[in-house]
Amino acid sequence: MKASSAKWRWLLVPVGLVASAALAAPAAPLNLPDFDALAAKATESVNISLDTSLLGLAAGFLDPSNPDDAATKELIAGLKGIYVRSYTFDGGFAYPSAQVDQVRKQLAAPGWQRLVQTNSTRDRTRVDIYVSVDRGLANGLAIIASEPRQFTIVNIVGSIDLAKLHRLEGKFGVPKLDLPPESRDGKPGK
């Protein structure tokens, strides 16, 4: 598990996306558009909005004597909000470009920087990862992922240690990916 978390360094190092970001003021949450039309067509929807108070409430229900719960509590300590919209479809779906453009406009504002953009025509998958940076410290994260049968937007407000998040892999139903051993070590796969 320790070795597998190393693969996130490529994401962490460039912006120093570590817990030290607690000094930075948290970014404002993105104004996520209404995806009702998309939800109506989806076979599975995830609509999560956890603001500071709900995160605090959730943290209160994490058992500090349980190592996984304790790790989760530590992970969310610097967070001010987590917002997730994810829709899964049986067949193909129309990419909600208008709504996503609304989100991208917000991410074009000063303070937000695109960290990663992947676009696979073969897999018909596109993932964009943005970070909000304040005085050199990351204080927010946004992910827009479009897959053939799934569309997802994640917005995390506050500082999050992605390595810690990844250490939760395999816990609580966080999927443990069956990556080749060399990939799990963060080394070149080929």
Partner 1 sequence: MSEGVENNQELERRLRSVLGAVDPGEGFAPRVMARVAAGAADTARPARAGAVASWLAFGLAASVVLAFLLAHEWQARRLEQGREARRQLIEALRVTDEKLDLAYRAVNTREGGAPPEHSGV
Task: Write out the residues near partner 1 by the rule CB under 8 A.
Answer: 7-11, 13-15, 46, 48, 50, 54-55, 57-58, 60-62, 72, 75-76, 82, 84, 86, 113-116, 118, 120, 123, 125, 127, 129, 131, 133, 143, 145, 147, 152, 154, 156, 162, 165-166, 168-169, 172-175, 177, 179, 182-183, 186-190
| Residue 119 contacts residue 135 (beta carbons within 8 Å) | no
Alpha carbon distance 142, 128 (integer Å)? 8
Between 60 and 91, name the residue whose CB sits nearer to partner 1. Answer: 60
Distance of CA 58 to the CA centre of its chain: 18
Between 22 and 48, name the residue whose CB sits nearer to partner 1. Answer: 48
Which pairing describes strands 150-158 and 79-88: parallel, antiparallel, or unpaired?
A: antiparallel
Between 5 and 99, name the residue whose CB sits nearer to partner 1. Answer: 5
Q: How many CB atoms lie within 10 A of CB 69?
A: 16
Cβ 92 to partner 1 shortest distance, Å: 18
Which residues have C-beta within 8 Å of that of residue 115, sequence separation ≥ 6?
Answer: 11, 14, 15, 129, 130, 131
Cβ 50 to partner 1 shortest distance, Å: 6
Q: Which amino acid is at 181?
A: P
Between 99 and 131, name the residue whose CB sits nearer to partner 1. Answer: 131
Alpha carbon distance 21, 135 (integer Å)? 10
Cβ 189 to partner 1 shortest distance, Å: 3
Between 18 and 154, name the residue whose CB sits nearer to partner 1. Answer: 154
Cβ 115 to partner 1 shortest distance, Å: 5
Alpha helices in 29-180 (DSSP H): 36-41, 52-60, 67-75, 97-107, 162-167
Cβ 71 to partner 1 shortest distance, Å: 10
